[in-house]
Chains A and B, each alone.
Chain A
Amino acid sequence: MQKVIESLAIGKKFADTQALRDITFTVNESEIFGFIGPDGAGKTTLFRIIATLLRPDEGEMRVLGLDSGKGFKELRKNIGYMPGRFSLYQDLTVEENLNFYATVFGTSVKENYDLISDIYSHIEPFKNRLAGKLSGGMKQKLALSCALIHKPRLLILDEPTTGVDAVSRSEFWTMLAKLRQHNITILVSTPYMDEALRCDRVALIQNGKILSVETPQQVKAGFSRKLFMVKASEKFKLITALRKYPETLTAYAFGDSVHVTLSEDRVNESLFAFLHESGLNNVKVEETQAGIEDRFLELMQKGKDE
């Protein structure tokens, strides 16, 4: 299988800030590869290097078999890039934007319409509207259509779902999954941990460093301890009490419960006694499966301790 991206020990510095350090990973053909991490982790800088828009200070970046610096002219024909900030022409209409991008890349909307029809059909009824007047969800669909119109082999999406509601986010991922049929490799970043599940493999990134590269299943399985889910009606009181319990290693709020790791990996009667003494009633404890976010929290903690 061909490697679409080969990143070898990439480093990048801006003034005093080390934005990326020793970034090494590969992306295979037709893969949906996710970068998961908070703002400031280095996702955008890395994507700009892959998209030939920025040169690394250290290491080697090969994209579609070419060096991302020397091969930039050839690569730009084969890469579709959707930046995090909406960057289409606000004073052109929906249709004008799409035609413009098609023409720049020496193709036509007609030629590759089948690739975008699924996405573009949602906004086609508004094709005479100025891009600047579209709603957030519609802008996102237009930007994706424009990034795809030259039928790229690699699609790079920088936080396409940030600030988008849960329903629209789910629909967006369904659209991405369909693109796989067209042999397009997708590199995508997101701050939402739950979206990792929609990727083939994910890299967890924090402070310019990759913490792990694994399938979502491996990420979850990598959690090193037993995880317990504790519930009580007063959540804030519960988490405060759990932090004070001597056996607690970590205690993090997760939706309507608290996820806890304990020093002996088992629940003792003393836990119930301790919580009862802290004024908590109706306490429920059960073992639970770690999710992506549990693992991310664990890796972050490890990074801090080292």
Chain B
Amino acid sequence: MKDENNTVISVRHLFKKFGNFIANDDLSFEVYKGEIFGFLGANGAGKTTAIRILSGLSSPTSGEVIVAGINASEKPEQIKKQIGYMSQKFSLYEDLTVKENIMLYGGIYGLKKALIKERTDNLLAKLNFMEYGNKLISDLPLGLRQKLAFSIAIFHEPKIVFLDEPTGGVDPITRRQFWEMIYETASVGITVFVTTHYMDEAEYCDRISIMSEGRIVALDTPENLKKQYNTDSVEEVFIKIARPVND
């Protein structure tokens, strides 16, 4: 559940420039503990650049970014321990088994072997995955793979998990089950920072921001945005304000 007294991401006047190109143009926003925060925008609007900075993979040109209490300009390496990350494009190693993937990620995050084993058993039971433990990832259907990838991204109990288009191409039933996992994760206090091109999923978020040409052009709850733009859906809000760049 969203806890507004507890800020886990704080961004103040973030700029990121590549030569003359301004990818992030004066971004300021906060994200709270246990919040589901939707990060929307047209292709090329600057979302990926911002996520890379928030996850310690790239540093701001100027401005202040604090993630889980850590300054992204000073100690980006420490941010990585506090967060989880999953994307549609790459999530798990296909030529390793389910258990081997869990072991690998648990090991990278420095968890003790006994703890990894205990949590692995719990995880497989919870996902109804017992029969899949020794199967190669390449043998799993996409929907199961995405659910497992998400579970592994939060395996080390991070403060924040970043999900970059986690449901792309997934069937409609699995897409909904995936969102129920997101709700459950947020309910135990993990902040979920998520991007998606499915506008109905934007409605499931506590708050959403919409980026266009490097700036945040809207940030509020889905209800308030629909009221403000006098529309029935977030999709219509998006089409009104998120003009794509150059194409």
Interface residues of A (CB under 8 A from B): 37-41, 122-123, 135-138, 141, 162-170, 191-193, 206, 235-236, 239, 252-256, 293, 296-297, 300-301
* B233 touching A255, Cβ below 8 Å: yes
CB-CB nearest 7 A-B residue pairs:
A38-B171, A39-B169, A137-B247, A236-B183, A255-B203, A165-B42, A255-B200
Which chain A residues border B244 with CB–CB below 8 Å? 137, 165, 167-168
* B172 touching A300, Cβ below 8 Å: yes
* Minimal Cβ-Cβ distance residue in A for B174: A38
* Minimal Cβ-Cβ distance residue in B for A38: B171
Segment of B6-14, B103-111, B234-242 in the binding face: B234-242
- Contacting A163 at CB < 8 Å: which of B173, B197, B222? B197
21 inter-chain pairs at a CB distance below 8 angstroms, sorted by A residue, are: A137-B244, A162-B169, A163-B165, A165-B41, A165-B42, A165-B238, A166-B199, A167-B244, A168-B42, A191-B168, A191-B169, A191-B170, A235-B183, A235-B204, A239-B180, A252-B173, A253-B180, A253-B204, A254-B200, A255-B204, A296-B172
* A38 touching B197, Cβ below 8 Å: no
B53 in contact (CB, < 8 A): no
Whole-angstrom distance between the alpha carbons of A253 and B168 in the complex?
17
* Minimal Cβ-Cβ distance residue in A for B89: A163
Whole-angstrom distance between the alpha carbons of A164 and B242 in the complex?
13
Known: A165-B42, A253-B204. Contact between A193 and B172, CB under 8 A? Answer: yes
Whole-angstrom distance between the alpha carbons of A163 and B243 in the complex?
16
Which chain A residues border B203 with CB–CB below 8 Å? 255-256
- Contacting A168 at CB < 8 Å: which of B141, B170, B180, B247? B247
* B142 touching A40, Cβ below 8 Å: yes
B125 in contact (CB, < 8 A): no
| Count of residues in B whose CB is under 8 Å from the partner chain | 40
Whole-angstrom distance between the alpha carbons of A76 and B174 in the complex?
37
B155 in contact (CB, < 8 A): no
* A38 touching B247, Cβ below 8 Å: no
Which chain A residues border B222 with CB–CB below 8 Å? 256
* A300 touching B247, Cβ below 8 Å: no
- Contacting A167 at CB < 8 Å: which of B165, B169, B239? B239
B82 in contact (CB, < 8 A): no
Whole-angstrom distance between the alpha carbons of A5 and B21 in the complex?
47
Which chain A residues border B165 with CB–CB below 8 Å? 163
- Contacting A137 at CB < 8 Å: which of B43, B169, B184? B43
Whole-angstrom distance between the alpha carbons of A38 and B184 in the complex?
24
A165 to chain B, nearest CB (A): 4
Which chain B residues border A193 with CB–CB below 8 Å? 172
Within 8 A of A (CB), among B188-247: 197-200, 203-204, 222-223, 233-235, 238-239, 242-247
Which chain B residues border A162 with CB–CB below 8 Å? 168-169
Whole-angstrom distance between the alpha carbons of A281 and B107 in the complex?
45
Which chain B residues border A123 with CB–CB below 8 Å? 247
Residue among B143, B171, B173, B223 with the most chain A CB within 10 A?
B171
Which chain B residues border A163 with CB–CB below 8 Å? 43, 165, 168, 197
- Contacting B170 at CB < 8 Å: which of A39, A235, A293? A39
* B180 touching A38, Cβ below 8 Å: no
